[in-house]
Structure 1
Amino acid sequence: VLGLGAMGHAFAVNLAKKSFNLRAWNRSEEKGSDLVQYGATVAKTPAQAVEGSQAVILMLANAEITLDVVTQTLASLDNNAIVIQMGTIGID
């Protein structure tokens, strides 16, 4: 899960509680520190968070940030990874 605001954090907690192998990232690293108690790994970079993942949830604040984060992860994404963009980022 990339983006641990209110919605992203809620998704991450629920996935971790259901024993998914979860890696998360947020621009403010401290927002994910509580996820460790559920077995999640909080990555230092978005690229580290997506390495080897089958699915990546993006829950970011706007289109500009989403594009920046996706660009940072492209080289680390598995060829068959599913990217699920769930933020309300506007039509543009």
Structure 2
Amino acid sequence: MSQYKFDQFQFNSQGYQLTKNKNKHSLHPKTALLLAYLIENRHKISSKKELFQSVWQTEHVQDHTLFQVISEIRKLSSNELIRTQPNLGY
């Protein structure tokens, strides 16, 4: 089981659960995979192409799909977890 702790968050990547201040939120599997990938690669900017390849294992994913998953994480975290780097990635 992969558990990550940062700020006021706890994330269980195998249980698809994000906890903030003892409030537990269940994540969709792709959302959990994306969040785990971004946490593991937090010291670099990840491009859309890289995220498509790593999370969906294909480059043939619509941008809208990625935006929806990012939006789900942002809603649960009050925009605290993911920063957009314009024209570069996340």
TM-score, structure 1 as length reference: 0.29
Q: Which has the higher helix share?
A: 1
Q: Which has the higher strand share?
A: 2
